[in-house]
Structure 1
Amino acid sequence: MGATEAGAPGPLELRFLGTSDSMGVPRVYCSCTVCKEARETGFNRRLRSSLLLDGLDADGGATLIDCGPDWGRQMEAAGLRSVRRILITHAHFDHIGGLVEWADACRYEGRKGTAYAPAEVILTILDRFPWLERWIDFMPCDEPLRLGSWTIRCWRVHHGYNGYSYAYRFDQEETATSWAYCSDAIGLDDGMKAPLRGCRLVILGTNFYEEPHPYETRSVYDVKEAIELQRELRPGELLLTHLSHDIDLMRDYGLPAGMAFAETGLTRRLGGSAKPE
């Protein structure tokens, strides 16, 4: 077992602070229908993907999955002034671009934050930003990690043309509750799919409804492929994030039961005495 932090079993609240792909919506250069609507009414406006975990352990304090360049705006929108720890999926800019701002916030508060990530991801981050260690403790989580009543495991997944990423699975043994976060993946083999089985909730990245680009140039599942994956994995619920400007949240795509697009501010409560929403 990896590092441990004490805590009592309880419900965990998940809140989506951002649900966009790497470029955000609207694209500054784009005048498509979705980007126009995002500028005018904001329903499709979305920041880079990030998930807030509240109640992960009894000590309190916010935990995030990923820290992209929209971190400051997301914190302001969520009414948060500090974050205790961050889990990092991979070292692409849209997932780590906010670490510099977080480090500065930690410096101002006179305390160090904690970032958990696989060892190879930490090495990549510190190769680019070696001074981040002054205000962030980077902790490898290649072995299972225990935070409160949750056991957290990560595993490497195909990120297509963009190399690799990591997914995270959370298990609360006392309530037999499991959920997983897999924001950047495509073409998962059976071994990579295995930890996604038996989950009450799976959060999966999908850039397009049906991506038009050649498969060898792609890096994330599309929605039609996610539908097939849902049929195979049969999670209690499948929420789609990492959405490009191809996805119009005002449109009815006829998604199957148990599947939905994640919108900014969407919450789910899992584990403890909470009933799934």
Structure 2
Amino acid sequence: MEATLTFLGTGTSMGVPTLGCDCAVCTSAVSPHGDPRNRRTRPSLRLDYNHHTILVDTGPDFHAQAIRENIHRVDAVLYTHGHADHVLGFDDLRPLSFRRNGNLPIYADDATAKTLERIFEYTFRKEDRYPTSARVEIHRIDPTPGSGVDLFGACFRRVPVTHGREQITGYRFGNAAYLTDMSDIPAESLPLLQNLDVLILDALRRDPHPSHSHLDKSVALVEQLKPRRAFFTHMSHDLDHEATEADLPPHIRLAYDGLKLTFEIAPETAA
């Protein structure tokens, strides 16, 4: 079964251009003569397959991303973790949830679910609920590495990754995997990342960072895991798209907002 993956956003928590910055990359991002691939909104994905649309994360730019990509319906949302750049667009799910019969299913680990329930308390309260809150139902995902969520004929498997001092959730779906905001991949997760067509990795900048993978480290991880294709995301204004990509091997590319890929998201049964 073929799926289309769309990068809704590929930037860091501060986005590119970064407010108050006039560096060459930030300037290029907004200049009519610059490279539009340098304009990076906060990171998230859209997946379309089997006549359904799945989101991974809803950052603070989700409203604009949904308009840009003509998103009229969403059938489920999976979250990687509870940081602001991944969850603050949650409330923009409201009009999309109103178009459904039944609640929109939301999947998150326990820590992320608690963050959503705290920030958007008015959505989840049992009494005196705000009448036009998003119509959603939150599901805690099994924290076991490789545990799966079956959605519309595909299985989304949890791939734990390290994000600084935290463990967060990456996902494998069919022969693609999405590992944003990762600084390391635990040994227990490596078997879940074999035989990939598409691997999407965090690559924040050129210099090392305490809670994100940097460019050289991400290249080394690609060479270790040997996917057929790799794409870097969650990139800061340290990385100019054209100049950085020119130094990479042909099977490793920088993602950019709006980039679309196709891959096989084969039917699978959750463990």
TM-score bucket (shorter structure): 0.7 to 0.9
Q: 2:247 aligns with which of 251, 254, 263?
A: 254
How many residues matched? 249
**What is the CA distance between 1:270 and its match in structure 2?**
1.2
Q: 1:219 — aligned with what?
A: 211
**What is the CA distance between 1:96 and its match in structure 2?**
0.4
Q: Are 2:141 and 1:141 equivalent residues in the alignment? A: yes
Q: 2:156 — aligned with what?
A: 152
Task: Look up the SS of the partner of 2:38 in the other structure.
Answer: coil
Q: Deviations over 1:174-205 (max 9, x none)?
A: xxxx2111011112231133312221111111
CA distance in 2, matches of 1:36, 1:253: 20
2:160/2:189 contact within 8 Å kept: yes
Residue identity in the other structure for 2:13? S
Q: Deviations over 1:105-145 (max 9, x none)?
A: 53587853221112332122212322333521111222411
Q: Any unmatched runs of 5+ in structure 2?
A: 125-132, 267-271
Structure 1's 244 and 268: CA in aligned 2 closer, same or farther, altered over 3 A?
same
Task: Look up the SS of the partner of 2:19 in the other structure.
Answer: coil
Q: Deviations over 1:184-241 (max 9, x none)?
A: 1112231133312221111111110233xxx5xx211011101111111111111101
CA distance in 2, matches of 1:258, 1:85: 31
1:227/1:256 contact within 8 Å kept: no
Q: Are 2:47 and 1:53 equivalent residues in the alignment? A: yes
CA distance in 2, matches of 1:247, 1:18: 15
Task: Look up the SS of the partner of 2:5 in the other structure.
Answer: strand
CA distance in 2, matches of 1:63, 1:231: 29
CA distance in 1, matches of 2:265, 2:149: 19
1:202/1:239 contact within 8 Å kept: yes
Q: 2:171 — aligned with what?
A: 168
Q: Are 2:204 and 1:207 equivalent residues in the alignment? A: yes
Q: 1:229 — aligned with what?
A: 221
Q: Any unmatched runs of 5+ in structure 1?
A: 1-9, 172-177
Q: 1:66 aligns with which of 48, 57, 80?
A: 57
Task: Look up the SS of the partner of 1:180 in the other structure.
Answer: strand
Using the aligned pairs only, state the percent identity.
29
CA distance in 1, matches of 2:74, 2:152: 16
Q: Which 4+ runs in 1 deviate beyond 6 A? A: none
Q: Deviations over 1:71-102 (max 9, x none)?
A: 10000000123322211100001000100121
Q: 1:245 — aligned with what?
A: 237
Task: Look up the SS of the partner of 1:62 in the other structure.
Answer: strand
Q: 1:20 — aligned with what?
A: 11
Q: How does 1:111-122 map to 2 (within 5 A)?
A: 112-122=103-113
CA distance in 2, matches of 1:23, 1:128: 20
CA distance in 1, matches of 2:92, 2:10: 20
2:26/2:38 contact within 8 Å kept: yes
TM-score, normalised via structure 2 length: 0.85
Q: Deviations over 1:225-275 (max 9, x none)?
A: 0111111111111110111111111214411231100012211111279xx
- Which range moved further: 12-21 or 249-258? 249-258
Residue identity in the other structure for 1:260? R
Q: 1:101 — aligned with what?
A: 92
Task: Look up the SS of the partner of 1:86 in the other structure.
Answer: strand
Q: 2:128 — aligned with what?
A: none
TM-score, normalised via structure 1 length: 0.83
- Which range moved further: 187-196 or 109-118? 109-118
Structure 1's 189 and 108: CA in aligned 2 closer, same or farther, altered over 3 A?
closer
